[in-house]
Amino acid sequence: MHIKLLQWNILFDEKYENILRELKKINADVLCLEEATTQSPVNRKRHVADDLARALGMHVHYGRAGHWEGRHFGNAVLSRFPIVKRRMIPLKIHEAYHDTPEYIKRGYVEATLNIRGKRLAVGVTHLAFRRRFHHTPVKVKEADRLMEIVRKRKKNYILCGDMNALPQSYTIRHFKKCLVNAGPPYREKSFTTIPFTFEGWHARRLHYRVDYCFTTPDIRVKTARFLGDVKASDHLPILIELEV
Protein backbone atom coordinates (compact mmCIF):
# COMPACT_ATOMS: atom_id res chain seq x y z
CA MET A 1 0.00 0.00 0.00
CA HIS A 2 1.20 3.49 -0.88
CA ILE A 3 1.24 5.98 2.02
CA LYS A 4 2.59 9.48 2.68
CA LEU A 5 4.43 10.31 5.90
CA LEU A 6 5.38 13.78 7.10
CA GLN A 7 8.18 14.65 9.54
CA TRP A 8 8.01 18.18 10.98
CA ASN A 9 9.16 20.23 13.96
CA ILE A 10 6.17 22.56 14.18
CA LEU A 11 7.87 25.18 16.46
CA PHE A 12 6.52 25.62 19.97
CA ASP A 13 5.55 29.26 19.33
CA GLU A 14 3.88 28.74 15.96
CA LYS A 15 0.16 29.45 15.82
CA TYR A 16 -2.05 26.37 15.76
CA GLU A 17 -4.08 27.75 12.87
CA ASN A 18 -0.97 28.06 10.68
CA ILE A 19 0.08 24.49 11.38
CA LEU A 20 -3.39 23.13 10.71
CA ARG A 21 -3.64 25.06 7.43
CA GLU A 22 -0.38 23.57 6.15
CA LEU A 23 -1.20 20.03 7.27
CA LYS A 24 -4.54 20.16 5.48
CA LYS A 25 -2.78 21.17 2.27
CA ILE A 26 -0.13 18.44 2.58
CA ASN A 27 -2.73 15.76 3.37
CA ALA A 28 -0.30 13.08 4.61
CA ASP A 29 -1.44 9.76 6.06
CA VAL A 30 0.99 9.77 8.99
CA LEU A 31 2.37 12.83 10.81
CA CYS A 32 5.50 12.84 12.97
CA LEU A 33 5.57 16.09 14.94
CA GLU A 34 7.95 17.68 17.44
CA GLU A 35 7.44 20.68 19.73
CA ALA A 36 3.72 20.02 20.03
CA THR A 37 2.75 22.10 23.06
CA THR A 38 0.10 21.88 25.73
CA GLN A 39 0.71 25.13 27.62
CA SER A 40 1.74 27.74 25.05
CA PRO A 41 0.06 31.13 25.55
CA VAL A 42 0.37 31.64 21.79
CA ASN A 43 -2.22 28.90 21.36
CA ARG A 44 -4.36 29.65 24.42
CA LYS A 45 -2.82 26.63 26.21
CA ARG A 46 -4.58 24.21 23.90
CA HIS A 47 -3.32 20.63 23.49
CA VAL A 48 -1.96 21.08 19.98
CA ALA A 49 -1.51 17.40 19.05
CA ASP A 50 -4.95 16.36 20.25
CA ASP A 51 -6.64 19.32 18.59
CA LEU A 52 -4.83 18.69 15.29
CA ALA A 53 -5.91 15.05 15.40
CA ARG A 54 -9.56 16.01 15.94
CA ALA A 55 -9.48 18.61 13.18
CA LEU A 56 -7.85 16.19 10.72
CA GLY A 57 -9.84 13.10 11.73
CA MET A 58 -6.73 11.16 12.78
CA HIS A 59 -5.64 8.90 15.62
CA VAL A 60 -2.97 10.34 17.91
CA HIS A 61 -0.23 9.23 20.29
CA TYR A 62 1.38 12.09 22.21
CA GLY A 63 4.23 11.95 24.69
CA ARG A 64 5.16 14.95 26.80
CA ALA A 65 8.89 15.51 27.04
CA GLY A 66 9.84 18.67 28.92
CA HIS A 67 9.16 22.36 29.23
CA TRP A 68 10.79 25.49 27.89
CA GLU A 69 9.96 29.00 29.11
CA GLY A 70 6.76 27.76 30.73
CA ARG A 71 5.56 25.79 27.72
CA HIS A 72 5.13 22.03 27.96
CA PHE A 73 6.01 20.28 24.73
CA GLY A 74 6.45 16.81 23.36
CA ASN A 75 6.38 14.51 20.34
CA ALA A 76 3.40 13.07 18.53
CA VAL A 77 2.37 10.55 15.90
CA LEU A 78 -0.91 11.26 14.11
CA SER A 79 -2.27 8.58 11.81
CA ARG A 80 -5.21 7.87 9.53
CA PHE A 81 -4.66 4.21 10.42
CA PRO A 82 -5.55 2.69 13.81
CA ILE A 83 -2.85 2.79 16.48
CA VAL A 84 -2.64 -0.65 18.06
CA LYS A 85 0.31 -0.08 20.40
CA ARG A 86 1.77 2.98 22.12
CA ARG A 87 5.13 3.56 23.80
CA MET A 88 6.58 6.61 25.54
CA ILE A 89 10.17 6.40 26.76
CA PRO A 90 11.91 9.29 28.55
CA LEU A 91 15.48 9.72 27.35
CA LYS A 92 16.73 10.19 30.89
CA ILE A 93 20.49 10.54 30.82
CA HIS A 94 21.23 12.64 33.91
CA GLU A 95 19.56 13.69 37.15
CA ALA A 96 19.87 17.49 36.99
CA TYR A 97 17.41 18.83 34.45
CA HIS A 98 16.89 22.55 34.10
CA ASP A 99 15.39 25.07 31.73
CA THR A 100 18.01 25.19 28.97
CA PRO A 101 17.74 23.53 25.53
CA GLU A 102 20.51 21.04 26.28
CA TYR A 103 19.21 19.93 29.66
CA ILE A 104 15.42 19.96 29.35
CA LYS A 105 13.81 16.53 29.35
CA ARG A 106 13.68 14.74 26.04
CA GLY A 107 11.61 11.74 25.04
CA TYR A 108 10.80 9.14 22.42
CA VAL A 109 7.31 8.11 21.34
CA GLU A 110 6.42 5.11 19.24
CA ALA A 111 3.12 4.17 17.67
CA THR A 112 2.46 0.83 15.99
CA LEU A 113 -0.02 1.26 13.16
CA ASN A 114 -2.38 -1.30 11.65
CA ILE A 115 -2.25 -0.63 7.91
CA ARG A 116 -4.75 -3.04 6.41
CA GLY A 117 -3.50 -5.86 8.56
CA LYS A 118 0.21 -5.02 8.38
CA ARG A 119 2.02 -3.54 11.37
CA LEU A 120 4.28 -0.49 10.98
CA ALA A 121 6.07 1.03 13.98
CA VAL A 122 6.77 4.77 13.79
CA GLY A 123 9.09 6.42 16.31
CA VAL A 124 9.51 10.16 16.87
CA THR A 125 12.04 12.06 18.94
CA HIS A 126 13.51 15.52 19.47
CA LEU A 127 17.06 15.47 20.77
CA ALA A 128 19.02 18.02 22.79
CA PHE A 129 20.00 21.35 21.25
CA ARG A 130 23.40 23.01 21.45
CA ARG A 131 24.23 26.17 19.55
CA ARG A 132 25.78 25.51 16.13
CA PHE A 133 24.67 21.91 16.80
CA HIS A 134 27.99 21.13 18.47
CA HIS A 135 28.24 17.68 20.00
CA THR A 136 28.55 17.34 23.77
CA PRO A 137 28.76 14.50 26.31
CA VAL A 138 25.05 14.97 26.98
CA LYS A 139 24.22 14.45 23.31
CA VAL A 140 26.46 11.38 23.08
CA LYS A 141 24.69 9.74 26.02
CA GLU A 142 21.33 10.65 24.54
CA ALA A 143 22.21 9.07 21.18
CA ASP A 144 23.45 5.93 22.92
CA ARG A 145 20.21 5.66 24.90
CA LEU A 146 18.10 6.02 21.79
CA MET A 147 20.17 3.41 19.97
CA GLU A 148 19.40 0.92 22.75
CA ILE A 149 15.77 1.32 21.74
CA VAL A 150 15.92 1.42 17.94
CA ARG A 151 18.53 -1.30 17.35
CA LYS A 152 15.90 -3.82 18.47
CA ARG A 153 13.78 -2.90 15.46
CA LYS A 154 14.72 -5.15 12.55
CA LYS A 155 11.84 -4.52 10.13
CA ASN A 156 8.69 -2.47 9.53
CA TYR A 157 10.09 0.51 11.41
CA ILE A 158 10.53 4.25 10.77
CA LEU A 159 12.37 6.75 12.99
CA CYS A 160 11.74 10.46 12.47
CA GLY A 161 12.72 13.57 14.31
CA ASP A 162 14.56 16.79 14.84
CA MET A 163 17.86 15.29 15.92
CA ASN A 164 19.61 18.66 16.43
CA ALA A 165 22.61 16.93 14.87
CA LEU A 166 24.47 17.43 11.60
CA PRO A 167 24.98 14.56 9.11
CA GLN A 168 28.62 14.03 10.14
CA SER A 169 27.80 13.97 13.87
CA TYR A 170 28.17 11.05 16.24
CA THR A 171 24.37 10.83 16.52
CA ILE A 172 23.68 10.39 12.82
CA ARG A 173 26.64 8.09 12.24
CA HIS A 174 25.33 5.98 15.13
CA PHE A 175 21.85 5.61 13.59
CA LYS A 176 23.32 4.66 10.21
CA LYS A 177 24.71 1.48 11.77
CA CYS A 178 21.28 -0.14 11.76
CA LEU A 179 18.95 2.20 9.83
CA VAL A 180 18.79 3.68 6.33
CA ASN A 181 18.36 7.36 5.51
CA ALA A 182 14.96 7.63 3.82
CA GLY A 183 15.97 10.97 2.31
CA PRO A 184 16.35 13.63 1.19
CA PRO A 185 20.13 13.47 0.65
CA TYR A 186 22.19 14.83 3.54
CA ARG A 187 23.37 17.81 1.48
CA GLU A 188 19.85 19.28 1.57
CA LYS A 189 19.10 21.63 4.48
CA SER A 190 16.16 21.89 6.89
CA PHE A 191 16.95 24.76 9.30
CA THR A 192 16.30 27.70 9.57
CA THR A 193 13.51 29.27 7.53
CA ILE A 194 13.31 32.35 9.79
CA PRO A 195 16.01 34.23 11.78
CA PHE A 196 17.06 32.33 14.91
CA THR A 197 19.15 33.65 17.80
CA PHE A 198 20.38 31.87 20.92
CA GLU A 199 23.16 32.82 23.34
CA GLY A 200 24.81 35.12 20.82
CA TRP A 201 24.59 32.64 17.95
CA HIS A 202 22.63 33.80 14.91
CA ALA A 203 21.26 31.56 12.17
CA ARG A 204 19.58 33.55 9.44
CA ARG A 205 19.12 31.25 6.48
CA LEU A 206 18.54 27.65 5.45
CA HIS A 207 22.02 26.39 6.24
CA TYR A 208 21.79 23.31 8.52
CA ARG A 209 20.50 19.74 8.22
CA VAL A 210 19.05 18.55 11.52
CA ASP A 211 15.76 16.83 10.55
CA TYR A 212 15.70 13.21 9.39
CA CYS A 213 13.70 10.12 8.54
CA PHE A 214 15.32 6.70 8.89
CA THR A 215 13.88 3.28 8.12
CA THR A 216 14.78 -0.36 8.48
CA PRO A 217 16.17 -1.76 5.19
CA ASP A 218 12.94 -3.56 4.28
CA ILE A 219 10.94 -0.32 3.90
CA ARG A 220 10.56 0.74 0.26
CA VAL A 221 10.79 4.52 0.00
CA LYS A 222 9.59 5.86 -3.33
CA THR A 223 10.24 9.60 -2.89
CA ALA A 224 11.51 11.95 -0.19
CA ARG A 225 11.62 15.74 -0.33
CA PHE A 226 11.61 18.88 1.74
CA LEU A 227 8.52 21.06 1.34
CA GLY A 228 10.08 24.46 0.75
CA ASP A 229 6.80 26.29 0.20
CA VAL A 230 5.41 25.67 3.71
CA LYS A 231 4.77 28.96 5.53
CA ALA A 232 5.02 27.97 9.19
CA SER A 233 7.71 26.91 11.70
CA ASP A 234 11.47 27.43 11.49
CA HIS A 235 12.08 23.91 10.14
CA LEU A 236 11.20 22.54 6.73
CA PRO A 237 9.01 19.43 6.79
CA ILE A 238 10.06 16.20 5.09
CA LEU A 239 7.46 14.33 3.03
CA ILE A 240 8.22 10.73 2.18
CA GLU A 241 6.14 8.34 0.10
CA LEU A 242 6.55 4.63 0.74
CA GLU A 243 5.13 1.21 0.12
CA VAL A 244 4.10 -0.92 3.07
In angstroms, how far is CA 16 from the centroid of its own chain? 17
Binning pLDDT at 50, 70 and 90, where does residue 72 land?
A: confident
DSSP letters along 131-163, please? GGG---HHHHHHHHHHHHHHTT--SSEEEEEE-
pLDDT of residue 97: 45
pLDDT in tens, 132-142: 998 888 888 89
Helix, strand, coil content of the chain in percent (nearest 5): 20, 40, 40
Whether 225 has a pLDDT exceeding 70, the answer reads: yes
Binning pLDDT at 50, 70 and 90, where does residue 75 land?
A: very high
Burial of 77 (0-12, 13-18, 19+ CB in 10 A): buried
User: Is residue 56 classed as helix, strand or coil in its secondary structure?
Assistant: helix
Domains of the chain: 2-243 (3.60.10.10)
Overall pTM surpassing 0.75 (yes/no) = yes
Rounded to whole angstroms, how far apart are CA atoms 5 and 30?
5
